[in-house]
Chains A and B, each alone.
Chain A
Amino acid sequence: MELLRFATAGSVDDGKSTLIGRLLYDSKTIFQDQLEAVERTSVERGDEYTNLALLTDGLRAEREQGITIDVAYRYFATPRRKFIIADTPGHIQYTRNMVTGASTANVALVLVDARNGIVEQSRRHAFLASLLRIPHLVVCINKMDLVDWSEDRYEEIKAEFRQFATKLDINDLTFIPVSALLGDNVVDRSDNMKWYEGLPLLRFLEEVHIASDRNLIDSRFPVQYVIRPMSSSGMDYRGYAGTVSGGVFKPGDEVVVLPSGFTSTIAAIDGPNGPIDEAYPPMSVTIRLTDEIDISRGDMICRPKNQPIASQDVEAMVCWMSEVGSLQPRQKLAIKHTTRWARAMVNDVQYRLDVNTLHRDEEASALALNEIGRVSLRTTAPLFFDEYRRNRFTGSFILVDESTNNTVAAGMILGES
């Protein structure tokens, strides 16, 4: 059974919580005690029907205010796949939340209210999904029951969205007309929309092909931890532990270690259960080499003829995620990229991107909370990176404020500056 991570984004009113509640409920993931708690609360609040949205509103403040704070994770499984939902609210903190929830997603699910059509928020969510390179985007056109199950309305919204999507970098775009409230096209095919020939949402999530979304070409292994048993057994073992971040590694492969540039050959690869024949993303393994060379955390093992960019000058799209301060030229921050920490200085903010209109404001010189822009950085030590569009593991980084230790920004690398 394969694991699929998907991120949902939407506002309070477009029925996102109801849709997730419906997926969980109809796939029989909701337990009786949870449902009873929701039914009780619905009655207390005076809701007319069992409010499935209450299933996903976790914290007391959210239940009281009727909004969703931050990212919540939900789990369900069908006989075909196990699903992890990162449920992100669409209100004011949308950008930070969506980046947090969607950074590892295979699929992004954007909700559109069929009555309102494409609104600013739909565009913003689609843009963030493309910026984060989520491989598959599903647009659920919801509340079809409130537009008389109209195929014309569906086609109209679809055309408008496609028009906007041409400006974005989206590989795979799918539209599904649904009614989260009534369950049409969520798990089962809708009897009210026989004109729709595609899959219901759950079937789509079960079938969408995600295996080739990983980078299996550029072999990348950031060394995370060196395993060197200190025991009297006389065993001579030196292994480099880490997570395969690209490509496929096999015993016998010739490799090069960065930054030293030493070459060696893979003697063996140990998986969680003993030696294995090959390692690919996102496996956690331990690599042993035929030569004793000095390797430590933060080094990168790759193939001699396919190396990442090694540079101290990084060009990236950066999202500022902190209420405190802003990203400005000359600012110094800690940077974590793969397993490597360094310090980084902001050279320049080239432009700020309006996430609603995609307009580039080249006058901007700083990025505040939830703002995204193109930034160049200079780091104290070289980083070994790829473009984010080629590799999400080796193309991403975080920036940390050295005085508060808070994570203040997320970055997606465009290249060497």
Chain B
Amino acid sequence: MSYQLSHLRALEAEGIHIMREVAAEFERPVLLFSGGKDSIVMLELAIRAFAPAKIPFPVMHVDTGHNFPEVIEFRDSRLERAGARLIVASVQDSIDQGRVTEVTGPRASRNQLQTVTLLDAIEEHGFDAVFGGARRDEEKARAKERVFSFRDDFGQWDPKGQRPEVWSLYNGRHRKGEHIRVFPISNWTELDVWQYLHEEDVEIPPIYFAHERRVFERDGMLLSESPHIELLEGETVFTETVRYRTIGDMTCTGAVESGAATLQAIIEEVAATRITERGATRADDRVSEAAMEDRKKEGYF
């Protein structure tokens, strides 16, 4: 008997350990759930960590109002099946209350506004631990973030002042008003996520698979036609067979041309691809080389 754990099983065990640690040591944890594949893996780990009991914390969606309808449908049915309590923090509410100002114009995106809505919701509900599905392979700034990432009263991340994190001894101590962002799938790569979803036969929203969609091209990305986005001069809508590698707002998430209709086909495509998922499909990360670092410092996911 070799007592060997496959890499997916080892990553799963690590994620479950982190979730149980949080459930045991914090008063009010919450799990951020967007309906994207990373948050689906997190939800799956949470279900497994506490079975047969229900997940001992609520699930929160920071809703920009610019979602893919298929994803919202999936969110509601999946959470109902899991018996999880859903909290929706709405960017539209933040706009209506004058907390943030809607950006207008054809390139308008509510992506930046989410940070305020997220921090307000954390404050309102008194959450002291917030699970996020960020992975260290996604982006350079994330590669340096701890699993337990301390946030001050303003929700800020201080990359130079991070707590040392040794062995699996996580330190979640904090004062009232401060909170800890917790990233249980820090060590997973995009391929690990796809392989896990495949091996474990986990349900995901249909837009991850190849489908026909009315799209237009902008900045080298294929964006979906939607009521939330205005066309610029010269942009024309056409029908293409596409799928999504990441799920964010309809206004800033690009589709990739693909015929991959099964998880197996997606895995083969991801294994062969030569462009990172964020580079390929996220307008929000293209602003500058340090775009993610700056947003993270302010309290972004």
Contact = CB atoms under 8 A, between A and B. Distances in A.
Interface string B171-207: 1011100000000001101011000000010000000
B23 interface: yes
Nearest to A37: B289
B168 interface: yes
Nearest to B148: A407
Interface stretch (A108-116, A308-316, A393-401): A393-401
Nearest to A398: B169
B161 to A, nearest CB: 9
Interface string B265-301: 0000000011110011000000001100100000000
Contacts of B173: 334, 400, 405
B6 A241 contact: no
Nearest to B271: A77
Contact of A58 (B10, B52, B140, B192): B140
B5 interface: yes
Could you tell me the dominant secondary structure of chain A's interface residues? mixed
Contacts of A96: 164
A77 to B, nearest CB: 7
B143 A72 contact: yes
Interface string A40-69: 010000000000000001111101000001
Interface in A180-231: 211, 214, 216, 224-225, 227-231
Nearest to B6: A1
A71 interface: yes
B5 A284 contact: no
A64 to B, nearest CB: 10
A104 interface: yes
Interface residues of A, number: 70
Contacts of B200: 273
Interface in B115-151: 136-137, 140-141, 143-144
A17 to B, nearest CB: 13
B48 interface: yes
A371 B140 CA distance: 30
Contact of B3 (A103, A211, A243): A211
Interface residues of B, number: 61
A120 interface: no
Nearest to B12: A272
B21 interface: yes
A134 to B, nearest CB: 12
A31 B275 CA distance: 5
Contact of A69 (B23, B160, B164, B169): B160
Contact of A229 (B7, B12, B53, B174): B53
A334 B159 CA distance: 24
B31 interface: no
Contacts of B107: none
Given A211-B2, A282-B13, A75 B137 contact: yes
Interface of B: 2-7, 9-14, 16-17, 20-21, 23-24, 45, 48-54, 136-137, 140-141, 143-144, 159-160, 162-169, 171, 173-175, 186-187, 189, 191-192, 200, 273-276, 279-280, 289-290, 293
Interface of A: 1-3, 31-34, 37, 41, 57-61, 63, 69-75, 77, 81-82, 84, 96, 99-100, 103-104, 211, 214, 216, 224-225, 227-231, 235, 237, 241-243, 248, 270, 272-273, 280, 282-284, 297, 321, 334, 336-337, 339, 392-393, 396-398, 400, 405-407, 410
Which 4 residue pairs of A and B lie closest in terms of their CB atoms, listed nearest first?
A33-B279, A58-B140, A229-B53, A405-B173
